[in-house]
Structure 1
Amino acid sequence: MVPRCNHYGDLVCPPNLPPVDEVQKIISRYKVGMVLVVEHKNPPKPQSLQESSSIEHELNVKARRLSDILLTLERESLSRGYRFATGFSAGDCTYCDKCVGTGEECSPPFQCKTFYGRHGHRRSWNIGKCGH
């Protein structure tokens, strides 16, 4: 049996997401999309627990920067009349140290971005369909 992800039960992770077919139905209504790629070098493999914590913090800062960029793009799109503008992140939500989880209310609900792949989509296949 495959072990569960550490984030299973977080508010933007299974089982707290709509069914895949429902998400596919919603996404199929979009006619235009944009792929934003932010590159960064992965830090070296940690040699100690303390180093691991430092690297995790560094990655969370980078993930939060990406979420902030997505929020700015969403806000600008909404102000220009694109009512259904939404962004998907790459990775876990990093706005709280620990997600409150199933049955609780998210403290930054409009900042939290869910990972595209958690909705049953394969990035490489969809980006390939866009001609990249």
Structure 2
Amino acid sequence: MEKMDKCKDLEKMVLEKGYPEAKVIPADKVVVEDRVRLKCMVGCPHYGQGLRCPPYTPDIDEFRKMLNDYKFAMVIKIKPQKIPEEVMAKYKLENNGIEHVKLRDQYKDADKTSSSVWSDFAGYYKESLMDLLDLESVAFSLGYTFATVFFAGRCMLCEKCNVKEGICRNPIISRFSAEAMGINLLKTAKNAGIDLKFDLDSTPTPMAILLVD
């Protein structure tokens, strides 16, 4: 009961920090599916290019075993960040957040445009990640020694990941992608009573999962 009370305190802190929604659920309500990893393999142009994404992550069965060691999970909806007007004009976007789907369709020649896109949008990823790492630290201070956060989408801490040498340059702050671990964010959000939609006509809502125990 004491652990659950602390978890609720953490949920309150997250909301006070300005996150739109945050819900604590039993860890077994985090939905893990092999087909989510399949989408990484067949639908993501960054597959194999980052040490925090497949095939360099634990396999799905390994993660299921790890998840079984946790009692709670917090599902966090992150407010889409505002894009500066000059960047919005550059990529011809509506200013309602980072439109990953439209960027993917607009820039199919990744070799020529990846550096430009990365430099313009990596800052948004880093800012959100730092906030989430702060939450992870707060959870640790409350007694959740094994608190670990998973952020949706690929790691963007480095423009080019050190895959060739197989050693992460930011091992302290980099985190695995939620999708890379097989987490179905739509179903998990639904289990938390949070509305989450992915479609071609709207900006994907940034999400994170914080495992606590």
TM-score bucket of the superposed structures, by smaller chain: 0.7 to 0.9
**Counterpart position of 2:31:** none
Task: From the superposition, tell whether residues 3 and 130 of structure 1 become closer, same or farther in structure 2 (CA, over 3 Å).
Answer: closer
User: Match for 2:159 among 75, 94, 97?
Assistant: 97
Contact 2:49–2:163 (CA under 8 A) maintained in structure 1: yes
Contact 1:92–1:115 (CA under 8 A) maintained in structure 2: yes
What do the CA deviations read for 1:86-111 (whole angstroms, capped 9, x no partner)?
00112221221211015422121011
1:111 aligns with 2:173: yes
Q: From the CA coordinates, give the structure whose radius of gyration is larger.
A: 2
How far did 1:85 drift? 0.2
1:22 aligns with 2:82: no
1:36 aligns with 2:98: no
**Identity over the aligned pairs, expressed in percent?**
28
Q: Which residue type is aligned with residue 54 of structure 2?
A: P
TM-score (norm 1): 0.81
Q: Which residue type is aligned with residue 8 of structure 1?
A: G
CA distance in 2, matches of 1:37, 1:70: 11
Q: How does 1:70-81 map to 2 (within 5 A)?
A: 70-81=132-143
Which runs of 5 or more residues in structure 2 are unaligned? 1-41, 81-96, 195-213
**Counterpart position of 2:122:** 60
Q: Which residue type is aligned with residue 15 of structure 1?
A: P
Higher helix share: 2
CA distance in 2, matches of 1:3, 1:127: 22
SS in 2 for 1:88: strand
Task: From the superposition, tell whether residues 91 and 3 of structure 1 become closer, same or farther in structure 2 (CA, over 3 Å).
Answer: closer
Runs of 4+, deviation exceeding 3 Å: 43-47
**Counterpart position of 2:186:** 124
Q: CA RMSD in A?
A: 2.5
Q: Which residue type is aligned with residue 42 of structure 1?
A: I
**Counterpart position of 2:147:** 85
Which runs of 5 or more residues in structure 1 are unaligned? none
CA distance in 2, matches of 1:118, 1:61: 21
Structure 1, 102-111 or 74-83: larger mean CA deviation: 102-111
